[in-house]
Every structure is written in C-alpha cells, then in structure tokens.
Structure 1
Amino acid sequence: MKYPVTPDGRYFVVRGRLWRMSNPELDETKRSKLTKRLMAARRAVRAAKIENDRSAEAAAHRAVDGAKLELGERGPVWWKDGSPDLNRRMAKNTPYAKWFGQIGRSRPGGT
C-alpha cells in the first residue's frame, strides 16, 4: 500500500487523516468480490455525475456504502478489544499521534 498503515493495521493515513482498513479476517475470495463491487459502484457514481442523473448517483452511493460496510470499512468496527473507531479523524489528534509524528512527511499521506 502506498499510504502508511497504523502499527495495529486498523487504519491507513491520507493527508494526515485516518481511514479504516478492510477487515483482515475476510477470506481473499470474499474480499476480492467486494472490492470489485466497490470499484464498480464508484465507477457508477462517476458516470451518474457525468450524466447529471441524481437518482442513479444516489443508488450508486448506496452501493458504495454497502460494499464498504461488508468490507468492514464502515459500520461496526471489526476489532474486538473495545477501542473506539477513529475513522476520518486527524492522526495528530488521536492515540496514533506519536507514531504519525515519527513517520512524518517522508511518506505519502503525511502532512
């Protein structure tokens, strides 16, 4: 992955923001199927925007959300230790701040 991943593997960082990783317990076949579905839904969002079709765009956004839920990137967290979800938070404002400060700007996604 071109973006830094937190030491616990829960998030990757883009422009200083944490984004939840997919559930690592998904088997590769299911992960691949869901990833293909997610990419198709994202293409559908783009196509609907080009066509200015709000109904199709809304349906495509729902499909993106559904795939991300099944991948574990949204919805209930996939880890079981009770740690809160820090998705979309700035890394510098989370318990990952020290780690993020150490990786600095030398990696893609650093701020």
Structure 2
Amino acid sequence: MTKPEPQDDDHWLVINGRRWRRTDPALSDDLVEALKSHLGRGRSAVGVSRRAGDDVATAAARKRVGLAKHGLGERGPRWWDSEVEDRIARAREALAELEKLD
C-alpha cells in the first residue's frame, strides 16, 4: 500500500512531495515584504559565512533566518491556531527584533 501524496491547501505548500508551511495570509503585504527582505539577507549571509568557515557569522545569519520565518508564520506555532491579532503582533515583534540586528 502506498502513502498518499501530500496535498496543497491553505496551510501547506507541497513541493516535490515535501510540505512547507505557507506564509500567514493575515499579514499585510508591507509586513511580509519587510520580513522576506530579512529572510533573503539572512539566507545569503548563511551561504557567505559557511563558505568562509565563520561559525559565529553563520549562527548570527541563521538567527536572522529563524526570526524572519517565525514572523512570517512559517515556523513556530501554527498560525491557523492563533487569533489574527496575535499573529500580526508576533510578526511585528519579529520584525522589530530583526531591525535591531541591523
């Protein structure tokens, strides 16, 4: 008996059989854009620091990625289990933390 393939829905995106949590749809476009900007910079910094063998910089970059993904609702508590106001507050808090890192 084969396992059924995971399906896309409002909560999950399936790519090559792997489920990825979708960005919280309650977040405003400008908030998502700001968080994704930090996410992109963090991912880039992870690659640069890993190639340089700088473990401290890699850890800092991964922290940025984690904060951004938590703010977007892609990690941490499932966004669909929380009230919209709490989800937006969590995203704004993550963005404030990210901006402190700059």
Both proteins in one fold, TM over 0.5: yes
Q: How does 1:47-66 map to 2 (within 5 A)?
A: 47-66=48-67
Structure 1: distance between partners of 2:41 and 2:52: 16
Instruction: Output the amino acid matched with 1:36.
Output: S
Structure-2-length-normalised TM-score = 0.70
Instruction: Output the amino acid matched with 1:29.
Output: D
Bigger RCO (CA 8 Å, 6+ sep): 1
Aligned to 1:69: 70
Aligned to 2:95: none
* Superimposed CA distance per residue, residues 33-67 of structure 1 (whole angstroms, 9 cap, x where no aligned partner): 00011000000000101111000001111110000
Structure 1: distance between partners of 2:44 and 2:81: 33
Instruction: Output the amino acid matched with 1:24.
Output: P
Aligned to 1:87: none
Q: How does 1:88-107 map to 2 (within 5 A)?
A: none
Structure 1 alignment gaps of length 5 or more: 82-111
Query: How much has 1:77 moved relative to structure 2?
Result: 0.8
Aligned to 1:13: 14
Q: Percent identity?
A: 37
Aligned residue-pair number: 77
Structure 1: distance between partners of 2:66 and 2:26: 19
Structure 2: distance between partners of 1:34 and 1:80: 21
Structure-1-length-normalised TM-score = 0.65
Aligned-partner SS, 2:19: strand
Instruction: Output the amino acid matched with 1:71.
Output: L
Query: How much has 1:80 moved relative to structure 2?
Result: 3.2
* Superimposed CA distance per residue, residues 75-109 of structure 1 (whole angstroms, 9 cap, x where no aligned partner): 0111138xxxxxxxxxxxxxxxxxxxxxxxxxxxx
* CA-atom RMSD in angstroms: 1.8
Aligned to 1:25: 26
